[in-house]
Amino acid sequence: MESHLIVVAIFALGIAVGLPIGFVLLASAFCGIMFLRGLPVAMTALGTMPFAKVTDIALMTIPLFILMGAFATHAGVSEKAFQMANRFVGHMRAGLAMATVVACAAFAATSGSSVATSAAVGKIALHEMRRFGYDRAVAAGTIASAGLLGIMIPPSIMLVVYGIITQTDIGQLLVAGILPGILTAGVFCLGLFLLALVRPNLMPSVQAPVPWRERLAGLRDGWGVALLFGVIIGGIYSGAFTATEAAAVGAVTAFLLLLLKRGLDLRPLLHSSREAAGSCAMLFLILIGAGLFSQYIALSGLARAAAELIQGSDWPRWLILWCILLAYIPLGMFLEPISMCLITLPIVFPTVTALGYDPVWFGIIVVKMSELANITPPLGVNVFVIKAIDPGIQISSVFRGATFFVLLELVTLVLLVSIPEISLLLPRLMQ
């Protein structure tokens, strides 16, 4: 018991002083193992865990998807996605806001990251919404929340991490994210339309309808997104590629798009590579720390004890599930999504699967809870991305604008929990 309290104290102190989460996980797990099994065992675990983690072939999927997203960003995919979406829905009530959601959904198919999606689309969409008189908080909240589609619609880094940690088929997880991602985008657009009906001053109609000939002609702006999505998901769904092979093919395809857009200019290539390397270094440190923390959880018996306690209770399994999901909300207020999942899954996943829930379906639900973590105060990462794009806006205004989308996310969560087939239809057809 004393070792658990020490681990909790070290973890809380590290978070409070702002240390990188990877170092916090390493330090707390090392101390926990040392108190449980002694210093030699802790030193051995610390020495072997980094090598064991970074040599996992499945991890190759992550840097390749990150590199693909960086190439796609510099190839101008986000601008083209927004222009294409705006031609179709820009004339409607809340048209620019809905165009932002659609553009984020399209760019998410090339990115895998909610932060990258919010940043790439936000640079264009925020200026347009502000120019046409949209409420500042609503515009910022829309972009921060629409960017969440980046961790649901494949290629999703979060789903890859979940698959690695839980040993769930990554290809099935990526395919499973398609319909929930489309559902989330649809709920967002419907919610924005209804909000514009009730409060038209927040999102005025700003432009005349574009002729259908121009709309259809504008579809060619989305060919890059369609190509990348088709290569990745088509390859996985047909069985031609594994998830790792699809990531490699996607990265090469995005590189060719960058060459087509920017020619032989080395600056965007170097910038993309530098961005991807920085993101991968940070993420791999978290994965290594989480790996050691998972080892501590296994040695301590916490996961087994929690599973036995829950399974031995008289609560119905649906109530246990909702208690687990609701616990993710306060955790997401203080931990970024990947760290939150890496810390909780070693305890939660065995319990959920023992209750008979499908691991692929639960992966989608976990990602949905992770989306909420990116827009809830005080550490909503996507909110700070919008602050970086528009330094003049108050953080509180962005959080206020995102509150409406928290409610929409909860509506989507209820639908996904109530109708598992939304998440499982495509993976079952794939099998």
Render 334-403 in DSSP notation, one character per residue.
Answer: TS-HHHHHHHHHHHHHHHHHHTT--HHHHHHHHHHHHHHHTTSSS--HHHHHHHHH-TTS-HHHHHHHHH
SS (H, E, C) 16-47: HCCCCHHHHHHHHHHHHHHHHHCHHHHHHHHH
The per-residue pLDDT for 183 is: 95
What is the pTM assigned to this prediction? 0.84
The residue written with tokens 């060719």 in the block is 256
* Rounded average pLDDT per 10-residue block, the chain, 431 residues: 74 78 84 86 83 75 85 79 78 83 86 81 82 86 90 88 89 92 94 90 74 72 78 83 86 86 75 82 82 80 70 80 88 78 84 89 93 81 82 86 92 94 90 69
Q: Are 143 and 100 in contact (CB under 8 A)?
A: yes
* Helix locations, 38-76, DSSP H: 39-54, 61-74
Rounded to the nearest 5 degrees, what angle is found at the Cα of 337, between the Cα atoms of 335 and 341? 95
Contact 103, 73 (CB under 8 A): no
User: What does the pLDDT read at residue 185?
Assistant: 93
- Distance CA(383)–CA(140), nearest Å, equals 8
* Residue 60 per-residue DSSP state: G
The pLDDT assigned to 3 comes to 66
**Cα–Cα–Cα angle for 109, 278, 281, rounded to 5 degrees:** 100
Res 301: pLDDT: 74
CA 334 to CA 355: how far, in whole Å?
Answer: 28
Q: How many CB atoms lie within 10 A of CB 239?
A: 9
Integer Cα distance of 63 and 270 in angstroms: 15
